[in-house]
């Protein structure tokens, strides 16, 4: 791929009138997410009843459970986008950016799940942490995706990053069934699933189930809003990286005394560098 893009030197700034990564659609999603979050707080902390066994501490469930479910979804999206990058003919970096953005948000959601779970555990079990099957596998899931995110920062060109991380992001999703069914596979202190049960039954009803549903809607909208913005930020960062490389080439030409009658560099040179390592890859 040789793509000719005019890249300006630091002396002449590009024409950038659009500030940020927002659009009308993302603003609508953002407002919907805020409204759903307000509903979640109202139902989770106010309208839903206390539980017969767990009393008021059950209210933590309305943020704890939706956050891990949406984290599962985020990691499935990472795996799908990783597969999209690896197996599509175009090897579009758009897949890679969505994969990375989704993994970041998924890791954040797992982190808040772990913290809210620790607070809930302190109330119901009397301890913040136990090396229980569900807790341990969830911690493993978190560490795996932190590792995935670390691999994304190892360096190299964009296609090296994409290929390397996709190879991890695709199989890492297999941890999700292990985490979810850990309470069935092993004897666990953690309670079994109340909604996504193996027998398909839902052992919850009324306002409690509705509050949980509101939580799932709120976290899904938050995820959607975040993943769109984060993917766009990644696209901007990739372009800025390319520009730095182009500027470095201009500087090197000046050092070498080559003909540099303008402050523009042909991006095909940087694209050629990528092509050597990844023929056929697209920006």
Partner 1 sequence: MNDAGFIFGSYAVTFGAIALFALATIRRGRTLSAQVPDEEKYWT
Q: List residues near partner 1 by CB under 8 A.
A: 5, 13-23, 37, 41, 44-45, 55-57, 59-60, 63-64, 67, 105, 108, 111-112, 115-116, 119-120, 122-123, 222, 225-226, 229-230, 232-233, 235-237, 239-240, 243
Between 184 and 237, CB nearer to partner 1: 237
Element (H, E) at 94: helix 93-124
For the bound state, the minimum distance from the C-beta of residue 141 to partner 1, rounded and expressed in Å, comes to 17
Residue 167 CA, distance from chain mean position: 16
SS3 label, residue 61:
helix
Distance CA 175, CA 177 (A): 6
Q: Check: CB of residue 85 under 8 Å from CB of residue 92.
A: yes
For the bound state, the minimum distance from the C-beta of residue 36 to partner 1, rounded and expressed in Å, comes to 12
Between 173 and 223, CB nearer to partner 1: 223
For the bound state, the minimum distance from the C-beta of residue 278 to partner 1, rounded and expressed in Å, comes to 20
CA angle 161, 164, 167 (to 5 degrees): 140
Between 28 and 123, CB nearer to partner 1: 123
Between 193 and 233, CB nearer to partner 1: 233
**Burial group, residue 158, by CB count within 10 angstroms (0-12, 13-18, 19+):** buried
For the bound state, the minimum distance from the C-beta of residue 119 to partner 1, rounded and expressed in Å, comes to 5
For the bound state, the minimum distance from the C-beta of residue 32 to partner 1, rounded and expressed in Å, comes to 14
The token pair at 253 is: 């030409």
Between 139 and 178, CB nearer to partner 1: 139
Q: Check: CB of residue 94 under 8 Å from CB of residue 86.
A: no
């Amino acid at each position: 791929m040789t793509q000719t893009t005019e890249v300006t030197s630091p002396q002449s700034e590009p024409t950038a009138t659009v500030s940020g990564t927002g659009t009308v659609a993302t603003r609508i999603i953002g407002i919907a997410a805020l409204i759903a979050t307000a509903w979640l707080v109202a139902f989770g902390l106010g309208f839903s009843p206390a539980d017969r066994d767990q009393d008021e501490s059950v209210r933590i469930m309305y943020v704890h459970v939706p956050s891990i479910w949406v984290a599962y979804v985020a990691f499935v999206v990472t795996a799908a986008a990783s597969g999209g990058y690896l197996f599509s003919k175009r090897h579009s970096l758009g897949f890679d950016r969505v994969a990375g953005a989704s993994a970041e948000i998924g890791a954040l959601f797992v982190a808040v799940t772990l913290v809210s779970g620790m607070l809930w555990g302190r109330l119901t079990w009397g301890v913040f942490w136990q090396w229980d099957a569900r807790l341990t596998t969830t911690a493993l899931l978190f560490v795996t995706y932190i590792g995935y995110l670390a691999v994304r920062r190892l360096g190299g060109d964009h296609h090296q990053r994409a290929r390397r991380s996709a190879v991890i992001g695709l199989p890492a999703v297999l941890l999700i069934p292990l985490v979810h069914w850990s309470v069935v596979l092993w004897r666990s202190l953690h309670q079994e699933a109340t909604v996504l049960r193996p027998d398909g039954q839902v052992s919850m009803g009324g306002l409690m189930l509705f509050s949980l549903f509101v939580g799932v809607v709120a976290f899904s909208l938050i995820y959607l809003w975040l993943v769109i913005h984060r993917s766009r930020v990644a696209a901007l960062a990739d372009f800025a990286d390319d520009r730095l490389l182009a500027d470095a080439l201009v500087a090197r030409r000046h050092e070498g005394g080559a003909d540099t009658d303008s402050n523009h560099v042909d991006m095909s040179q940087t694209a050629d560098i990528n092509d050597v390592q990844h023929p056929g890859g697209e920006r």
